Structure 1
């Protein structure tokens, strides 16, 4: 795809940044990639969707998408990409539901490189939002917040948090909290198989006072608002997953051209050709699925919720399959510690990040039934 207008120049600029980040010295595992995060801020990534004095419109989001597309096509690892997606969801929530004071405070924090965390999952509920146990109860002129969160991206290092909770009425609410708030405690880094520079960890909430000004949007409409926020993340997960193996294609082809087996370069073997063609087919189909879903999301198409879950499922399935195919192509060399095994470890994370396959297939089925009912009623 050739991006239109200045989208192509944005894509090219962030692709160059992705190459630069990929070819620098290695980052210590289980640490946030602060240097990479700072480089994104200096390149102006957040200014694309946090313009001064106004809300981001669809043209801003398409420019941001071009940047994410370019970066993910070259960086060769997903930790920093997942951090970007998490932060983008916060921006969308602030733009669509935030008060003037919240937008002024937190969008400025995003522009200056501060890191956010969105607390959804809990130890016994995963991402089943309707079953969260973190409780928001009336207290004086505000509320008290009690509960815990699990496996939350950026929790150990975030500067501010958006916490998903439930009232005694069953209504879901979204609450902003700052690091250092009394009663808010974050735990140590989780030790994960891959995406080791995406810090995740637990959050404990013990009688945290919440003022009405800290509630995002309508205190009783948090579920609707959260769905709007996470839907953007789902399709962006599909987009970056589609691109994750792209930087490895050229070297894989060159390896197949020079690796001789049974008297000929393995690239002449039809089975190897199938591996390579399957990889590029998966890259292209999952990328186009994601971009099509984004178009429907930004235009508020009635099928957008379904399409964004499809983009996540397709992207996750394809990137995991591609990682396995790449390792098989290299044989024992691919299994050694190195870039091929590392990108497979990252790819496997897409099985759960942004929601499991089971959760998304349930959502897809629910959306099919919702659309059928709407068609019948019309």
Structure 2
């Protein structure tokens, strides 16, 4: 299990922490909508080169270096939107590396290095993220397949350059899930209006509609019919990374709260002398630390193909999300009426609440953890 960063990984963490500070300042004057400046800044800094192999234009590093960079960003950027975009793109890179053909890797990894933005469409209006119940249908035809159906609440749907869509094959087999890659200008693809969300205003989400959309056979990712098994391996990385981001985002807010509590006077003393204030701050720090280490363990298991990884990734995401939401609300209470004013703390609360559903709802992760417990118990 990983218990410390290497010197090279520490350097990455430091470099991207500084970039996070820069991007946090730039975001203050940015209009709502996708952060194109921040995205290009990360591309130019070489973020995607860390995990893309040499033969496709990357540096051939591993996911631990990328994780160090992501932790550095998360500990300084102050808002999660760009980080959520990074996590979504990391899932696409993992999908291509695990299941992509040589042609798919060459085309889409090169596009990612050049700054292209991807989206992954799983959820549907009537089924949410219950993949086994989706209605989007992939029907074989003479020149490949035709795709019909809809997706909703898809990150980057309004602006993505290409899409990974989870769909059901028109077959009687129980193995009937397929993953297909679609370019933004494919005939039959319609993007709906962007969603109007409570927070995370710089992460555009929205619906997608497929009207008899042509899908050449070479645009299927991996083996048709095995898409569910493939998807689980792909999204488990994202679950761990949601946990990593949630564990680290409070970092600058905690430092500022410590300073505020030391200088805010109440009843003739600094409020950090009161035990209930100390408990708020300690609880935030404890949540950050326990979740960070849970993420490290989950990543170690996932990258090592440990059978417990799927459960650990859900635990990492669920625990960190719950603590992040609690910490944001606790900070608002600490600042009193100032926290309730529009500003960094109020924004943090609105953004943190999104973690109740981003990457899967609490109920979905609870169910996954229980199912994994059953599987591991039966296997033992």
**TM above 0.5:** yes
> Which residue is equivalent to 1:320?
325
Are the counterparts in 1 of residues 51 and 61 from structure 2 also a CA contact under 8 Å?
no
* 1:1-378 alignment runs, 5 A limit: 2-24=4-26, 26-53=28-55, 60-169=62-171, 171-375=176-380
Structure 1 stretch displaced more, 362-371 or 56-65:
56-65
Please list the CA deviations of residues 267-293 of structure 1 after superposition, one character each: whole Å capped at 9, or x if unmatched.
101100000000111111111111110
Residue 25 of structure 1 and its aligned partner are, at CA, apart by: 5.2
Secondary structure of the equivalent of 2:293? Answer: helix
Residue 154 of structure 1 and its aligned partner are, at CA, apart by: 0.2
Tell me, in whole angstroms, the C-alpha distance in 1 between the residues paired with 2:79 and 2:53. Answer: 28
1:303 to 1:138, Cα distance in 2 relative to 1, 3 A: same
1:200 to 1:27, Cα distance in 2 relative to 1, 3 A: farther
1:58 to 1:100, Cα distance in 2 relative to 1, 3 A: closer
Tell me, in whole angstroms, the C-alpha distance in 2 between the residues paired with 1:304 and 1:323. Answer: 28
Secondary structure of the equivalent of 1:12? Answer: helix
TM-score normalised by structure 1 residue count: 0.97
Structure 1 stretch displaced more, 54-63 or 110-119:
54-63
Q: Which runs of 5+ in 1 are unaligned?
A: none
Please tell me the root mean square deviation across aligned C-alpha atoms, in Å: 1.5
Please list the CA deviations of residues 291-338 of structure 1 after superposition, one character each: whole Å capped at 9, or x if unmatched.
110000000011000100000110110100100110010001000000
Please list the CA deviations of residues 54-92 of structure 1 after superposition, one character each: whole Å capped at 9, or x if unmatched.
698995111100000111011110000000000000000
Tell me, in whole angstroms, the C-alpha distance in 2 between the residues paired with 1:199 and 1:338. Answer: 21
Please list the CA deviations of residues 321-358 of structure 1 after superposition, one character each: whole Å capped at 9, or x if unmatched.
10011001000100000000101111111000000010
TM-score normalised by structure 2 residue count: 0.96
Secondary structure of the equivalent of 1:23? Answer: helix
